[in-house]
Structure 1
Amino acid sequence: MSRKVPKKPQNLVSRRALLTGTLAGTALALTACTTSPRNAASASPTASPSATEVPRTLRLAAPAPPSGLDPAITGDNESFRVSRQIYETLVSIDANTGSPIAGLAESWTQSQDGLTYTFTLRQGVKFHDGTEMDAESVVANFNRWATLPTALSNDSSQGFTDVFHHTENIPTLPTEKDLQLNLDDGQEATERDVAAQQQRLEQLAALTPVFEQDLFTGKTTAGSASYFGSVAATSKYLVTLTLRRRLPSLIDALSLPGMAIAAPSALTGGPASNPAQSLMKTPMGTGPYRFVSHKDHNVRLEIFDDYWNRGRLDANTNHPQVAIISSVPSPYNRENAMSADEIDGFDLVSVDIMRDLVRSAKLVVQRDPFSVLYLGMDHRNKWLAKREFRQAIAYAVDTGQLASKLFIQGTKSAASILPPALSVPEPEARYNHDQNAAQKLLEQVGYAGEEIEFAYPLRVSRNYLPLPERVFAQLSEDLAKVGIRVRPRPIAWTDGYVDTVRSDDFTGLHLLGYSGGYRSEDDFLSGILSNKAHEFGYSSALLDSQILAARSLDPGEARTAAYASILQTLNFDLPLLPLVFPISALAFNPNVSFYPSSPMLNECYADIQMSNSPAVSS
């Protein structure tokens, strides 16, 4: 059924609550601070404000709180966007090109066989506890990541576990028999199915000689397919990292927020299950902002006086000196709070308030699409286990209408989980909207209108899903038009939505998405599929083998072709239906003149240009 656009509710956030840091709710996470070589020179510290001076204060409303403050064991962008103000990584990202640049490592070299990397660290970098960053501190972080208990590593995303695939094992190639089509009695294979099966057999033939070799070298402390070999401090400012197999995307991957370097003093002292437990409440990094408090669902950050890159701060004398990030789940309440000058800006503008913002001359900053929204289809469900039923869903959903009605202009429908920016061709046999085709497939499998549980999140906006309830309503309407009945399962985001849909207890349809952290196909595949057995009830020896083979290929035609084949496998198996590549946006009052938007959420507060709102100065 369709739903009307809801009226904007009354603003429920008081000005006093925001300014005093007592707003109940959730807290925005802010991402990746990029250090630029041109600003790396030392300079005299910026003058501290006098006792009577009000520091430049950024008040930002976000849709959800950080799930945790330790980036090594968290997996959501809200957490990363806070932690990336506080922490830094060995490699950073160029804000204009997205290419890797010097971070805490000022340079690096790679051996000819691609298995050894040597990083030269910056000197004079201090952690927020006053201790110096050196090679031993970097090694301490790697050793901690490599020995994380399973209970913690499972919560990690865009960090060590995903970069090095540390807990994975080498897959076993399927046989030709494993790839045969499974047809019900009396069912005949379509031309599309026959072509897909031939394609799968060709993919298997191409993989066979690859898996006849010794894929990995050296010992492993974890899974047989772990790329991590060893790490050592070869001098005070030199770190040597050894791999067990080539990983051409490694340098880019080291910029991920989960690879942030924490102060060694915070890595010990806790229980055996998590010696670095203090980082969950008191993050300790080298970034331009130090953590002050996370109280009443508000995060407060302040400029770190001993930040090593003073040139960067001096080059932008209008950067925020204080940041207060509060949570306002409703996009309409976020807009009302900004109109009332209770906040300076907010993240995740919804399509239906974009026009109001433009008319009122607000600064609207858009991000290019580098995320994907998808519809998960659990293969353990009686009906979703049938490929024809999943195909019927794919034909029933009108992704073009979804993109145009409920997302910011420029959002495109998706035929794969890899954004166009990665330049991997879409599968040729895409599922264009076709209600007749959907109904024929439903008749073929004997579907008689049984309900399918459909989960969607409440009280949250995500950059890939700004209006969850309305997206659910639109998809439900599309499915109803071909005769598929759904049973709504709304779950509050903060009540464990992600854990629920990725558990063995839920076996229906669900909405979820993924935001890329660096320019890599493997980042999306790992981020979405690493938990595929629990989230989608899906396993594929062919897919696992394809992904492993593709990771060690250098950029070029062979690598692009390998990932195109992976997309074809996913298109055939359909554990999920890609929906859209969303454009997200932020909005600000006139006192904010520049915000460094990034498709990869590489947005550091030190680069914001602003003045204080009259509400703060008065």
Structure 2
Amino acid sequence: MKRKILATVLVLAVSASMLLSGCGGKGTNTADASKAKTLVFAQGADPRGLDPAFVDDGESAKVIVNVYDGLLKYKKDSTELEPGLATEWTISPDGKEYTFKLRQGVKFHDGTDFNAEAVKFSIERQLPPKRTDDMPYASFTYGPVDKVVVVDTYTVKILLKEAYTPFLSNLAMALAAPIVSPAAVQKYGDKFIENPVGTGPFKFVKWDKGQSIQLERNDDYWGEKAKVGKLIFQFTKENSVRATQLITGAVDIIDGVDSNNVAEIEKAGAVMAEDEGMNINYMAFNTSRAPFNDAKLREAISHAINREELVKFLYQGYAKVANSYMPSFIPGYNDKVTPYEYNPEKAKAMLKELGKENLEINMIVYSNPRPYNPAGQKLAESIQGYLLKVGIKSKINVYTWTEYKKKTQQGEGDILFYGWTGDNGDPDNFLSLLDSNEIASSLNVAKFKNAEVDKLLKAARGTPNGAERDKMYQDIQTIATKEAPWLPISNAKSMAAYSKKVTGFKYHPTGVIFFNGVDKQ
């Protein structure tokens, strides 16, 4: 009898415990379950680095926006600005003084305080005399900045040398603009690029080069807390392998989707995400030396390439032919310009006239897919075929993305392939790639110099948004189309694919992904 009573008591005790855990402990269990979730995102290559001052690539940006915050941020579906680490701001009537009130009580991931001194530190490390040529975004993000003044613990003023219309938009960008922990930069020195410390929704855990980066949720985040406990960026070079990883459940999300894999992905029940991309895919000539310091030769080469056929073949409806140096929906787009038309006979005649009918050149290209060119090196190989038809022999050197960036900085290649995903929706962000002042930073990969373009860029930056400013950018496109430092090729859709278990996934127009809004069932 005693045994039966004891058994009954134990059953009741267990039942009560289960009821209590199901009621009073509900919030804790939900939090624990959320923290146990791991989300795996596969992309084509490692970041170049995780210090926002020293990188300019999308692979880096996708990690950085989840580890750091900026003073301002973009809304989820646009480049419209909203408060970030700054809660409010004012601009002086002459457009040269910006005052920011900062969010209080925010901590960096290392436990140190976010404050006005941290903002001053993050900006001044990218200003002369500290700024170096290894900081690709510093000059056009902070070029107009004269000095940064700490007013009090949570108020900072940024003084400009001249009015600069894109300045606020630049402060929300994924690169250069994020605020870093001064203590961590001082602690790690040159290794900070591999040991990032920000205030963002995820904390850095580790980076296994060539394999993955692991982040964990920042439970003390001031904004929308992440819905998963771990976020892993996995690096898989081949498009087809990433597609297979998604289909088999080895990863949850992939980007750089090759159009050839779309049907297979959809058949397996995964979800395709397609958004109009704010990007440009182009072929650049090295205009700093022979043979392509000759604009007539650049024109002749342009006539040799059938862009419509190329885009249709390589991207199969997931990109459209680009006719200018930025997407058509960006303010200041010039719809009156088009690159030199496809005319191989004219190309041959011009080459003969220039004495270049037996020209031999070197091309360099990246091996991994890019958001603006998921076909990777196939683009260069296709161009090689067109050039051979007009008598031009070419050699292609292929590099991983990190190696490729170094080669472009070193000036390798007569022709190189590049692209750009817009950071802020402003025309200056695209056309600054033609600024001769950005040759040193490597953003101007064509090493193009044109005094009129430089003059127009400078004037447009100090002109308020509107028709007058738009006209300046349209004039730049007219000049560039004639001089042909690039051959614009395509504007790609932003393409990713994800498991049906994933919710809340969306590309931002700037090409990054804010993973604190993404969940996994």
Name the residue aligned to 1:445: 354
The AA in structure 1 aligned to 2:112 is T
Which residue of the partner structure matches residue 588 of structure 1?
498
**In structure 1, what is the Cα distance between the partners aligned to 2:447 and 2:34?**
58
1:264 pairs with 2:182: yes
Change (3 A) 1:147 1:352: same
Q: Map Cα deviations across residues 236-258 of structure 1 (whole Å, 9 max, x no partner).
A: 21111111100111111101122
- Aligned match of 1:299 in 213, 219, 222? 213
Which residue, 468, 479, 498 being the options, matches 2:405? 498
8 Å contact kept, 1:266–1:278: no
Report deviation, 1:511: 0.8
- Aligned residue for 1:349? 257
Counterpart of 2:192 in structure 1: which amino acid?
Answer: L
Gap change, CA 1:417 and 1:471, over 3 Å in 2: same
- Alpha-carbon deviations, 1:499-532, whole Å to 9, x = none? 213324x241111111111111111223464544
1:182 corresponds to = none
Residues 589 and 135 of structure 1, relative CA distance in 2, 3 Å threshold: same
Match of 1:308?
A: 222
Question: Is residue 238 of structure 1 aligned with residue 145 of structure 2?
Answer: no
Query: What displacement does 1:381 show?
Result: 4.8
Deviation per residue, 1:328-357 (Å, 9 max, x gap):
000001011112211112111011111222
- The higher-RCO structure (CA 8 Å, 6+ apart) is 1
Partners in 1 of 2:371 and 2:381 — Cα distance? 18
Aligned to 1:558: 468
Q: Does 1:463 align with 2:367?
A: no
Q: Does 1:513 align with 2:416?
A: no
Contact 2:434-2:448 at 8 Å conserved across structures = no
The aligned runs of 1:426-441 (5 Å cut-off) are: 426-428=335-337, 430-441=339-350
Identity of aligned residues (%): 25
Pick aligned residue for 1:66 from 33, 39, 47: 47
Contact 1:380 1:507 in 2 (8 A): no
Q: Please say if residues 371 and 464 of structure 1, whose CA atoms lie closer than 8 Å, have aligned partners that are also in contact.
A: yes
Q: CA deviation at 1:67?
A: 1.2
The TM-score, its normalising length taken from structure 1, stands at 0.75
Contact 1:350 1:408 in 2 (8 A): no
Counterpart in the other structure of 1:80: 61
Q: Deviations over 1:29-61 (max 9, x none)?
A: xxxxxxxxxxxxxxxx97477889871110111
**Counterpart contact for 2:337–2:481, Cα < 8 Å:** no
The alignment partner of 1:583 has SS state of: strand
* In structure 1, C-alpha distance between the alignment counterparts of 2:486 and 2:425, rounded to whole Å: 22
Distance 1:50 1:602, change over 3 A: closer
Instruction: Tell me which of 376, 397, 406 is aligned to 2:305.
Output: 397
Please, which of 451, 462, 467 is the counterpart of residue 541 of structure 1?
A: 451
Q: Structure 1 residues 103, 345: CA separation in 2 closer, same or farther (over 3 Å shift)?
A: same
**In 1, Cα distance between the equivalents of 2:105 and 2:200?**
13
Cα-to-partner distance string for 1:84-131 (whole Å, 9 max, x where unaligned)? 101000010011232111111111111111111111111121111222
Contact kept? 2:90, 2:98, Cα under 8 Å: yes
Asked whether the equivalents of residues 388 and 442 of structure 1 are also in contact (C-alpha less than 8 Å), the reply is no
Picking from 85, 90, 115, the partner of 2:96 is 115
Q: Which amino acid aligns with 2:357?
A: A
Letter in 2 for 1:514: W
Does the aligned pair in 2 maintain the 1:379–1:507 contact within 8 Å?
Answer: no
Structure 1's unaligned 5+ residue stretches are 1-44, 166-226, 271-275, 612-618
Q: 1 CA distance for matches of 2:170 and 2:60? A: 18
State the shift of 1:295 in Å: 2.6
User: Partners in 1 of 2:395 and 2:47 — Cα distance?
Assistant: 30
Offset at residue 260 of structure 1 (A):
0.6
Cα deviation, 1:352-379, whole Å, max 9, x if unaligned, reads 1112222222111123221111111123
Q: 1:252 aligns with which of 142, 145, 169?
A: 169
Distance verdict in 2 for CA 1:532–1:577, change over 3 Å: farther
Deviation string 1:252-274 (CA, Å, 9 cap, x unpaired) is 1101122111122123246xxxx
SS in 2 for 1:379: coil
CA distance in 1, matches of 2:495, 2:220: 33
1:46/1:546 CA distance change after superposition, 3 Å: farther
Closer, same or farther in 2 for the Cα pair 1:388/1:140, shift >3 Å? Answer: closer
What does residue 107 of structure 2 align with? Answer: 126
Give the conservation status (yes or no) of the 8 Å contact 1:93–1:602: no
Tell me the alpha carbon deviations over residues 591-614 of structure 1, each in whole angstroms, 9 at most, x when there is no partner: 113302122024211111322xxx
Per-residue CA deviation, residues 540-581 of structure 1 (Å, 9 max, x unaligned), is: 222211211111111111111100111112112222211111
Whether 2:35 is the aligned partner of 1:57: answer no
Conserved in 1, the CA contact under 8 Å of 2:323 and 2:338? no
Q: Which amino acid aligns with 1:155?
A: D
Aligned partner (choices 276, 280, 303) of residue 193 of structure 2: 280
Please report the TM-score for the alignment, with normalisation by the length of structure 2: 0.88
1:141 to 122, 132, 137: 122
Q: 1:162 aligns with which of 113, 131, 140?
A: 140
1:182-201 alignment runs, 5 A limit: none
Change (3 A) 1:325 1:369: same
Deviates more, 1:480-489 or 1:337-346: 480-489
Secondary structure of the 1:299 match is: strand
CA-based RMSD of the aligned residues comes to 2.3
Cα distance in 2 between the residues matched to 1:247 and 1:472:
38
Higher mean alpha-carbon deviation, 449-458 vs 240-249, is at 449-458
Residue 334 of structure 2 corresponds to residue 425 of structure 1: yes
Following superposition of structure 1 onto structure 2, how do residues 164-179 of structure 1 map, counting pairs within 5 Å? 164-165=142-143
Counterparts of 1:564 and 1:155 in 2: how far apart (Å)?
A: 30
- Please say if residues 432 and 457 of structure 2, whose CA atoms lie closer than 8 Å, have aligned partners that are also in contact: no
- What 5-or-longer segments of structure 2 have no aligned partner? 1-25
Partner secondary structure for residue 267 of structure 1: helix
Per-residue deviation at 1:65?
0.3
**Distance of 2:364 and 2:148 partners within structure 1:** 43
Please list, as runs of the form range in 1=range in 2, the aligned pairs for 1:382-393 lying within 5 A after superposition: 382-393=290-301
